Amino acid sequence: MKAPRRTQEERRTATRNRILDAAVESLLERGYAATTVGEVQDRAGVARGTLLHHFPTRVDIMVAAIKHISDRRVEQFERELKLIPSDTGRLAALVDLAWRDLNSPMFFAALELWVAARSEPELRDALIPVERELFSRIHESMLSVVGAEAVDPRLPTLVQFTLDLLTGLSMSTILTSNLGSREVLLRRWKTALSVLMGELDATQLVARSRRS
């Protein structure tokens, strides 16, 4: 039995996603400067006219790639959220989940765009609202797992601290590969969260830091 033929819109979406996947792949492997229209075209395996029909300029490709990366990160994050067991330490599990997202290829592709946006106003204007929405959705998803603000008003701040801390920690991996020291910091932050939530005595933070 033949598979049903795809609609024109389905074909259009598939081609568009192939182009954007190629752009993300190039950003990861070659960086922003080398991710030209020609490079993306070659990687996507589409005709020049097809690519330009979807994205008339390089900036159009990069702007669409920003949203493409954001959507993929949120989809992956929300899939993994559903796998966290209800009987596990939720805050510790969320630290691990946030770290996987912020140390993933998709994050580093986004980072290429962050750096480029510093000196390209058009790219920056497109990036800011998408990244704001991304972190807002991740923040809200994390809160939905550990509890709503009405239950414990400390949680929104601690979730935000976690995202900001791990973003900086991930960026430090660009220059060094000492993953051991970062694992120590992750363990210490999990302990600190337990202290800040009143689940552990503050002396435990010092004691566990010495053992790390």
Give the domains, in start order, of the chain with CATH numbers. Answer: 8-175 (1.10.357.10), 177-212 (no CATH)
Two tokens at 7? 């609609």
SS3 content of the chain, % helix, strand, coil (to 5): 75, 0, 25
Measured CA to CA, the distance from residue 40 to residue 23 in angstroms comes to: 5
Phi, psi values for residue 86, rounded to 5°: -70, -20
Task: Encode pLDDT of 192-212 as tens digits.
Answer: 988 888 877 877 766 655 565
For residue 1, the tally of other CB atoms under 10 A from its CB is 3
Residue 150 has pLDDT above 60, yes or no: no
CA triplet 56, 60, 66: central angle to 5 degrees?
Answer: 155
Task: Give residues with Cβ within 8 angstroms of 6, minimum separation 6.
Answer: 14
Binned at pLDDT 50, 70 and 90, residue 149 comes out as very low
> Around 4, how many Cα atoms within 13 Å sit in the side-chain half-sphere?
4
pLDDT in tens, 108-126: 999 999 999 999 999 999 9
How far is the C-alpha of 63 from the C-alpha of 61, rounded, in Å? 6
